[in-house]
């Protein structure tokens, strides 16, 4: 079994694998995009858009199960790749990855991280969010996800980024990624503005 831990979604985090009933980590020696691509594909998370070492998602526990992983990128499973089973690593060298199907959000152009235009990082690029189905509920889910409490008011901006996302929530989902979403389809975004929001918290 394989999983990503310590990230903000199941498609981002520290690489952990299970061997003989015990979960362990992978050392970052020689860890690169080809290795990370195998992980993302195996987890049905698309492809790798960022690769991390130095325990970027926190230090794992248990044994370090692989070192010097050398995937070519086409392997079906991480354990199909050549690797050293002996290692000279500690958990401060745990490998991590961000896959393309991970979504993260920011509010940009406001006075702090809790106000501004809604932007989503998805499939390796930042996109704006169409306001065609962006209402109080979607704004509330986003403000809470960002740790910015509740929305105070909605704003409208122009679309100046190359790609667009549409969200439609049904209730208080834990994040916008759990709502219905459509990426880069022109119809729902026709004549839309880019959504913005002012939350009543203060950002970093």
Residue 202 has pLDDT above 90, yes or no: no
Domain boundary residue, one of 73, 99, 125: 99
Residue 201 DSSP code: S
- Whether this model's pTM surpasses 0.85: yes
- Model pLDDT, residue 186: 85
On whether both 37 and 116 belong to a single domain, the answer is: no
Residue 72 and residue 110 in one domain? no
What is the rounded distance in angstroms from the CA atom of residue 8 to the CA atom of residue 142?
14
Which of 56-60, 79-83, 149-153, 185-189 comes out lowest in average pLDDT? Answer: 185-189
Asked whether 161 and 126 are in contact (CB, 8 A), the reply is yes
The answer on pLDDT for 57 being more than 80 is: yes
Per DSSP, the three-state class of 107 is: strand
- Quick one: 86 and 111 in the same domain? no
In a domain, 89, yes or no: yes
- How would you label 13-39 residue by residue, b for 16+ Cβ within 10 Å and e otherwise? bbbbbeeeeebbbbbbbebbbbbbbbb
| Within-domain flag for 77 | yes
10: confidence class by pLDDT, cuts 50, 70, 90: very high
Same domain, 117 and 189: yes
Give the least confident one: 42-56, 93-107, 183-197.
183-197
Q: In Å, what is the CA distance from 181 to each residue of 44, 133, 199? A: 17, 10, 22
Same domain assignment for residues 155 and 191: yes
What range does the domain containing 188 cover? 103-199
Q: Note whether 114 and 108 are within 8 A (CB).
A: no
Could you tell me the CATH number of the domain that includes residue 126? 3.10.250.10
At residue 32 the predicted structure's pLDDT band, cuts being 50, 70 and 90, is very high
β 12-19/164-168 pair status: unpaired
Give the number of domains in the chain: 2
Tens-digit pLDDT profile for residues 108-147: 998 899 999 999 999 999 999 999 999 999 999 999 999 9
pLDDT tens digits, 78-96: 999 999 989 999 999 999 9
What is the Cα Rg of the chain in Å? 19
DSSP 54: T
Dist. CA 105–CA 181, nearest whole Å: 14
Q: Are 176 and 145 in contact (CB under 8 A)?
A: yes
pLDDT band at 204 (very low <50, low <70, confident <90, very high): low
Longest dimension (CA), the chain: 58
Last residue of a domain, one of 45, 79, 99: 99
77 with 123, same domain: the answer is no
pLDDT digits (tens, 9 = 90+) for 148-171: 999 999 999 999 999 999 999 998
């Amino acid at each position: 079994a394989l999983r990503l831990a310590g990230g903000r979604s199941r498609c981002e985090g520290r690489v952990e694998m299970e061997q003989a009933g015990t979960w362990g980590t992978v050392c970052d020696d020689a860890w690169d995009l080809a290795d990370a691509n195998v992980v993302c594909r195996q987890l049905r998370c698309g492809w790798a858009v960022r690769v991390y070492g130095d325990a970027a998602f926190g230090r794992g526990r248990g044994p370090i199960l692989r070192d010097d992983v050398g995937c070519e990128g086409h392997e079906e499973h991480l354990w199909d790749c050549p690797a050293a089973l002996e290692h000279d690593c500690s958990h401060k060298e745990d490998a991590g990855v961000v896959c393309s199907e991970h979504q993260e959000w920011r509010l940009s152009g406001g006075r702090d991280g809790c106000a501004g235009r809604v932007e989503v990082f998805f499939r390796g690029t930042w996109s704006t969010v169409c306001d065609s189905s962006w209402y109080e509920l979607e704004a509330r889910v986003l403000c809470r996800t960002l740790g910015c409490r509740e929305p105070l008011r909605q704003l409208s901006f122009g679309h100046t980024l190359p790609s667009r996302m549409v969200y439609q929530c049904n209730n208080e989902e834990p994040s916008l990624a759990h709502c219905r979403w459509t990426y880069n389809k022109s119809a729902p975004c026709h004549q839309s503005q880019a959504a913005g929001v002012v939350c009543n918290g203060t950002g970093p």
